[in-house]
A and B are shown apart, each in its own frame.
Chain A
Amino acid sequence: MSVYTAEQKHKGPILSKSRREKTVSILCLILLIVLALIVMFPIYWIFRSSLMSNGELYAYPPAFTPPAWRFENYPETLKSFEYLKFLGNTMTILIPAVLGAVVTATMGGYAFARLRFRGKKFLFTLCVGSMLLPSMVTLIPIFFAWSKLGLVNTYWPLILPHFCGGGAFNIFLIRQFVKTVPRELDEAATIDGCGYFRILIFIIVPAIKSAMIVVGLLKFIELWNDLLQQVTYITRRDRYTLALGLNIFRGSFNDDWSSIMCATCLSFIPGIVFYLIGQKYFVEGIVMTGMKN
């Protein structure tokens, strides 16, 4: 920004450039607002649906605003939707899985990006190759294996797999970000006598903190929505997660749409909260990375 003011003082024609800059800024802002409204609209639609009764939902033409703002739908829904219990169950799975994924992905990404060892190319190809596998394919054999171990109705099949690098995507992402950290820092630390793990913990991790948080977020969302695995391994109602809980409103004869929409809105909340919290560290991480250069 100081570059512009310096130019402004010494070169006349630059005045129009800064006005152009301002117009571009305003246009960008308007564009952002319009896009944001469009993006938010379906969410608003879900929210509006949660405040209507089933009969009102099926009426035509569709009402833009709920005819009667039925906030009582929420306590109604909460009577059958054991929100806190489902949330607790979901967190019991997610928190260890996300932590495990972040830690092992960072270790793996660091190894691939920085360390030299025999078989690295081969291992990396194997790793990338595993990204290509549709997860459907391995569903039955893995389920079979877990059932032989007697762990089918527990949370272990949903937690443990994420301690194995958190998926090739995340190892790859960390690897890409570690590669953006200049090697000179490593070399300086080595001269100071740091071993590989100290480099990892004290140099690499602070540098790519934003990427690690992104990995955590991505893992969180992936598991949050991973209906298929949850349905396969959780069948008892008291062990349901939030995503599964939405299904209890889909009856054998009918779908109770307004309750589904209410439960949906309630399910948004943890995800949003987690994102807002994570976003704070995310911003800090990015700022720190920027300052380094």
Chain B
Amino acid sequence: MKKLLAIVLCLALMLPVIALAEGDGRVHITYSFWGDQTEFESVQKVLDEYNQMQDKVFVEPMQIPNEQYTETLVNYAIADQLPDCGMVNENSVLFFARNGVMADVSDMYAGEELQPMDCITFKDDGTPVGYSSCNEILIMYYNKDMFDAAGEPYPSADKPYTWDEFVEVAKRLTFDEAGKHPGEDGFNPEKIVQYGAFVNNWTWQMEVWALSNGGAWFSDDGKQCLINSPEAIESIQKVADLALVEHVAPLNVIPEDNGVGVGIGSKTVAMTTDGTWRLGTDFPNLDINYGIAPLPMMKENVTLCTSGLTGVFKGKHQQEAYDFVKWYTREESNWESLVLTGIWLPKSEYFYKTEEGISKWLGNEKYPYNKDMETGKKVLVEYTMNNAKPACWYYTPNTQITTNEILFTALQSVWSGERTAEDVINEIYPDLCEAILID
């Protein structure tokens, strides 16, 4: 009897599914995304706005947990049930594009006033296949109070530290329980109270150091793996040595996507490198007097730009999805919720090259870093324009294998000090080369 009741209950729950079919005459499309509660609410708000401003298309959100995002999309693709459009993880864009799942968007911005920057365009062998929804670069955050306490001048906004200067400053900002700095007699690495620096070793961010040292991970056409060059290997070892040899950084053997949390956010680290989205996602909730600066440079002054993509998938309602995505990815559509909160940097050149454009976001009183516009201009605008290079997934295929799988696992032995970067990179080099050739 109970079982019968339960079955009836289940059937009853299924009725809404059947009933929800397009009864209101509109074309229903789904937009998939990942994110937490706050992001869900802001996405819902934007979707509501779109749904109300026209009556031909109704967009439904489909929230998928971040860890399983790409797998879920692939599962849906196998079952022919892909959403009509949605976010795509950076490292899977070329994978989806090459396998014919994504609609052609190469002329989405043809003739438009707001052109997305070239450095955030995904290219499969030179042909654009997608554009990032926004721009993000890697910068350095520092704790002004810790600098004041040590009597150190703040990092300059347009003249980055050299790596050696960076290490020296970090040493002066690192001390143990007895107040001793690394290198002094009696310094105890086991009892460090404050660390000078944390360079985020979350795998994809490590690419910037190879570039900074004059090397690269992959060739510009995405066909060759260059990570075994001495410059690239040295850059990895230098970052690992910050914790292992110089004792200025906390040990972080299994990296997570949480540079600020492990670094400056723990209130025990003076400097941290991470992405610009932290301005909106972390710092408003952390009670820290912070500043921003460009990354330290090894030989070249360079930073990495990246961001996820909002893609249109091939499907029944491709045109409606295309129109929606074009509307959705305008800075205007997400102005309040994402740009002004500091989570997104704008993606169109207009907002970087014209005074008018710059003042619209940097000059807006709601923007988290508007108190110091000079620094903001140098670190967020000029740094992007002059020094930002696209991350490898913009032009190299199969980065979910190379970065997330192979490098992520292999480099952990380097972070823990069990092996040297040279050993590890040379060991995995053949796998990396093979990975970018797989179809």
Which chain A residue lies CB-closest to B266? A58
Q: Known contacts A235-B62, A247-B65; decide if A144 and B36 are in contact (CB<8 Å).
A: no
Closest 8 CB pairs of A and B: A251-B36, A147-B79, A80-B37, A96-B6, A253-B281, A247-B65, A58-B266, A252-B35
Chain A residues whose C-beta falls within 8 Å of the C-beta of B21 in the assembled complex: none
* 0/1 string, A142-170, CB within 8 A of B gives 1: 01100110001111100100000000000
Q: Does B109 sit at the interface, judged by CB under 8 A?
A: no
* 0/1 string, B67-97, CB within 8 A of A gives 1: 1100010010011110000000000000000
CB distance from A50 to the nearest CB of B (A): 16
Please tell me the number of chain A residues within 8 Å of chain B, measured between CB atoms: 40
Partner of B286 from the list A55, A103, A232 (CB cut-off 8 Å) is: A55
Q: In the complex, are the beta carbons of B79 and A159 less than 8 A apart?
A: no
Q: Known contacts A249-B36, A252-B35; decide if A231 and B287 are in contact (CB<8 Å).
A: no
Q: Does B330 sit at the interface, judged by CB under 8 A?
A: no
Q: In the complex, are the beta carbons of B79 and A236 less than 8 A apart?
A: no
Q: Does A70 sit at the interface, judged by CB under 8 A?
A: no
Q: Does B316 sit at the interface, judged by CB under 8 A?
A: no
Chain A residues whose C-beta falls within 8 Å of the C-beta of B75 in the assembled complex: 140, 143, 232
Q: What separation, in Å, do the CA atoms of A147 and B68 have in the docked complex?
A: 18
Which chain A residue lies CB-closest to B62? A235
Chain B residues whose C-beta falls within 8 Å of the C-beta of A80 in the assembled complex: 37
Q: Known contacts A59-B267, A152-B81, A253-B281; decide if A231 and B72 are in contact (CB<8 Å).
A: yes
Q: What separation, in Å, do the CA atoms of A248 and B286 have in the docked complex?
A: 21
Which chain A residue lies CB-closest to B288? A55
Q: In the complex, are the beta carbons of B65 and A96 less than 8 A apart?
A: no
Q: Does A237 sit at the interface, judged by CB under 8 A?
A: yes
Q: In the complex, are the beta carbons of A103 and B3 less than 8 A apart?
A: yes
Q: What separation, in Å, do the CA atoms of A99 and B1 have in the docked complex?
A: 11
Q: In the complex, are the beta carbons of A250 and B67 less than 8 A apart?
A: yes
Chain B residues whose C-beta falls within 8 Å of the C-beta of A144 in the assembled complex: 78-79
- Listed stretches B9-17, B182-190, B390-398, B414-422; interface member: B9-17
Q: In the complex, are the beta carbons of A235 and B72 less than 8 A apart?
A: yes
* 0/1 string, A192-234, CB within 8 A of B gives 1: 0000000000000000000000000000000000000001100
Q: Known contacts A96-B7, A140-B78; decide if A55 and B287 are in contact (CB<8 Å).
A: yes
Q: In the complex, are the beta carbons of A252 and B34 less than 8 A apart?
A: yes
Q: Does A95 sit at the interface, judged by CB under 8 A?
A: yes
Q: What separation, in Å, do the CA atoms of A244 and B66 have in the docked complex?
A: 12
Q: In the complex, are the beta carbons of A249 and B37 less than 8 A apart?
A: yes
Q: Known contacts A92-B9, A96-B3; decide if A248 and B36 are in contact (CB<8 Å).
A: yes
Q: Does B38 sit at the interface, judged by CB under 8 A?
A: yes
Chain A residues whose C-beta falls within 8 Å of the C-beta of B38 in the assembled complex: 251
Chain A residues whose C-beta falls within 8 Å of the C-beta of B286 in the assembled complex: 55
23 pairs, CB–CB < 8 Å, chain A vs chain B: A55-B265, A58-B261, A58-B265, A95-B6, A96-B9, A140-B75, A144-B78, A147-B78, A154-B17, A156-B10, A159-B10, A232-B72, A235-B32, A235-B62, A235-B72, A237-B61, A237-B63, A247-B66, A247-B67, A248-B63, A250-B65, A253-B278, A255-B258
Q: What separation, in Å, do the CA atoms of A237 and B62 have in the docked complex?
A: 7
Q: In the complex, are the beta carbons of A99 and B72 less than 8 A apart?
A: no
Q: In the complex, are the beta carbons of B10 and A253 less than 8 A apart?
A: no
Q: What separation, in Å, do the CA atoms of A92 and B14 have in the docked complex?
A: 11
Which chain A residue lies CB-closest to B32? A235
Q: Known contacts A143-B75, A236-B62; decide if A92 and B10 are in contact (CB<8 Å).
A: yes
Q: In the complex, are the beta carbons of A250 and B66 less than 8 A apart?
A: yes
CB distance from B76 to the nearest CB of A (A): 8
Chain A residues whose C-beta falls within 8 Å of the C-beta of B66 in the assembled complex: 247, 250-252
Q: Does B40 sit at the interface, judged by CB under 8 A?
A: yes
Chain B residues whose C-beta falls within 8 Å of the C-beta of A108 in the assembled complex: none
Q: Does B285 sit at the interface, judged by CB under 8 A?
A: yes
Q: What separation, in Å, do the CA atoms of A277 and B251 have in the docked complex?
A: 46
Instruction: Tell me which residues from 211 to 235 in chain B have a Cβ below 8 Å from any Cβ of chain A.
Output: none
Q: In the complex, are the beta carbons of B10 and A60 less than 8 A apart?
A: no
Q: What separation, in Å, do the CA atoms of A58 and B285 have in the docked complex?
A: 13
Q: Does B318 sit at the interface, judged by CB under 8 A?
A: no
Q: What separation, in Å, do the CA atoms of A144 and B3 have in the docked complex?
A: 28
Which chain A residue lies CB-closest to B36? A251
Q: In the complex, are the beta carbons of B36 and A256 less than 8 A apart?
A: yes
Interface centre among A60, A232, A235, A250 (most CB of B within 10 A): A235
Q: Does B277 sit at the interface, judged by CB under 8 A?
A: yes
Q: Does A100 sit at the interface, judged by CB under 8 A?
A: yes
Chain A residues whose C-beta falls within 8 Å of the C-beta of B287 in the assembled complex: 55
Q: In the complex, are the beta carbons of A244 and B65 less than 8 A apart?
A: yes
Interface centre among B6, B63, B343 (most CB of A within 10 A): B6
Q: Known contacts A95-B6, A159-B10, A249-B36; decide if A254 and B62 are in contact (CB<8 Å).
A: no
Which chain A residue lies CB-closest to B33? A252
* 0/1 string, A262-287, CB within 8 A of B gives 1: 00000000000000000000000000
Q: In the complex, are the beta carbons of B282 and A254 less than 8 A apart?
A: yes
Chain A residues whose C-beta falls within 8 Å of the C-beta of B258 in the assembled complex: 254-255
Instruction: Tell me which residues from 226 to 264 in chain B have a Cβ below 8 Å from any Cβ of chain A.
Output: 257-258, 261
Given A155-B13, A251-B39, A253-B277, 19 more contacts at CB 8 Å?
A55-B286, A59-B266, A96-B10, A143-B75, A152-B79, A155-B10, A155-B14, A156-B14, A231-B72, A232-B75, A235-B72, A236-B62, A248-B63, A250-B36, A250-B65, A251-B35, A252-B35, A254-B282, A256-B36
Q: Does B410 sit at the interface, judged by CB under 8 A?
A: no
Chain A residues whose C-beta falls within 8 Å of the C-beta of B35 in the assembled complex: 251-252
Q: What separation, in Å, do the CA atoms of A96 and B14 have in the docked complex?
A: 15
Q: In the complex, are the beta carbons of A153 and B282 less than 8 A apart?
A: no
Q: Does B387 sit at the interface, judged by CB under 8 A?
A: no
Which chain A residue lies CB-closest to B74? A140
Instruction: Tell me which residues from 165 to 185 in chain A have a Cβ below 8 Å from any Cβ of chain B.
Output: none
Q: What separation, in Å, do the CA atoms of A103 and B4 have in the docked complex?
A: 13
Q: What separation, in Å, do the CA atoms of A148 and B39 have in the docked complex?
A: 32
